Amino acid sequence: MARQRFDERAATMGLDTSRCDKGLYKYVDRYGEVVYRQVITHPPSILDEGEQHPTDSVELPMLAIFTKAPQWTDYQYVGCVSQLYKFIGNDVVNQRIRESITSVGMPIMIENAIMSADYTRMRNEIFIQSSQQIANVGDIIPVMVVNNSYNGTRAASLSFGLSTMYKGNRLVFSFSLGEIRQVHIVSSNTSMTSAMTSYMQVFTENITDMITQSFSNQLSESDMLGVLDVIEEYGKKKRDAISEILKEIQAASNSPLPSSWQMFLAIIRYSSFEENLNTKKLLENAAESVLVIPGRMLEVLKRLS
C-alpha cells in the first residue's frame, strides 16, 4: 500500500492546514515557528526553437522549510524535506514526555531548551527533582533529554542522563544507551511510563556505584590519548580545550593520569557549553565511552532502547 503524502497527513501531524490550498503548512509553539511549502517549478517564459520543456508548473515531491524564532520578524529558508517526512512539533513531544514524567510521580524542577542556529533542531533538558548526594562529587540529578528536528536529520527521541555541578556551572550529560525513538514516544503511555520508572529505579540504585567506580578507575596513557584522538576528529581546538580542562581537574590529584570520572567530567564540562547540537552529542558519546557503568545499569539502558 502506498504511503500517504505529507499534505494528506498534515492535519493529523498537528500542522495548521488553513492555507493548504496554497501548499502551506504551519506549526507554532513557545520555541518558534516552522512552515512547510510545496515546491513547484516555474514554467519557462521563453523557449528556444526545438527545446523540450514542461509548459506548466511542475509540483516536486518535496517541501521547502522556513523557520522563525519567537523574536524574529521574518522567516528564514533552511532546506527541504520529502513528502514522506513524519513531522512532530517540539512542544508536542515535550508535553508527551512531561506527562509521562509526572504520571509516575516525578516532579519536574526546570527545563532548559536549546535550539540550533537555524531552528530546525531542538534539545530540551528536563531536570527531575530527585538527587543523589555523592562524596567528592555533590548532588547528581536525573535528566530526561528530548531531541527533535524539523528537517528530517533526527527523529524525535528521549535520552536518559544526569546533571552535576562543577565550579558553579550545571553540567548535563545524556546516554546514547537506552535512547527511545519517535515511534515508541508516540505509541502507548504504558511503555513510556514503564521506561521512566525503570530509569529512575536504576538511577537511584546504581548511580553512586557508577560514579565511585569511574572515580577509582585510572585510565592508562593509551586510553587517555585514544579518547583525545577521537575528540580531535571533531576539531583540534576542542581536543586542546578539553585537555586544558582535564589538567585543571587533575590539579588536585597526585596521579599523573586521570580517572575515568575526571576524563568524563572534562568532556561534559566542554560539551555542556557546545552550541552545535550534533557536536554536543558526539562529545557526549566520547564521555560515555570512559564511564564504568555497572552491569545492572547497562542491562536496563540497553533494554530501554
Taking only the tens place, the pLDDT of each residue in 88-117 is 999 999 999 999 999 888 999 999 999 999
pLDDT score of 47 more than 90: no
pLDDT score of 1 more than 60: no
- Tell me whether strands 76-82 and 59-68 are parallel, antiparallel or unpaired: antiparallel
**Confidence (pLDDT) at 211:** 95
pLDDT above 90: percentage of residues in the chain: 75
* CA torsion angle 40 46 47 49 (round to 10): 170
Helix/strand/coil for 237: helix
**Confidence (pLDDT) at 52:** 65
From 228, 196, 201, select the one nearest 296 (Cα to Cα): 201
pLDDT score of 3 more than 90: no
Taking only the tens place, the pLDDT of each residue in 34-43 is 999 999 887 7
**Confidence (pLDDT) at 297:** 95
pTM for the whole thing?
Answer: 0.91
Show Cβ contacts of residue 54 under 8 Å, excluding neighbours closer than 6 positions: 41, 43
Contact 156, 280 (CB under 8 A): no
**Confidence (pLDDT) at 258:** 94
Taking only the tens place, the pLDDT of each residue in 69-84 is 999 999 999 999 999 9
The C-alpha angle 69, 4, 124, rounded to 5 degrees, equals 30
What is the Cα–Cα distance from 226 to 224, expressed in whole angstroms? 5
**Confidence (pLDDT) at 48:** 63
From 27, 24, 303, select the one nearest 148 (Cα to Cα): 27
- Most confidently modeled of 52-56, 142-146, 253-257? 142-146
Structural domain spans, the chain: 6-82, 90-304
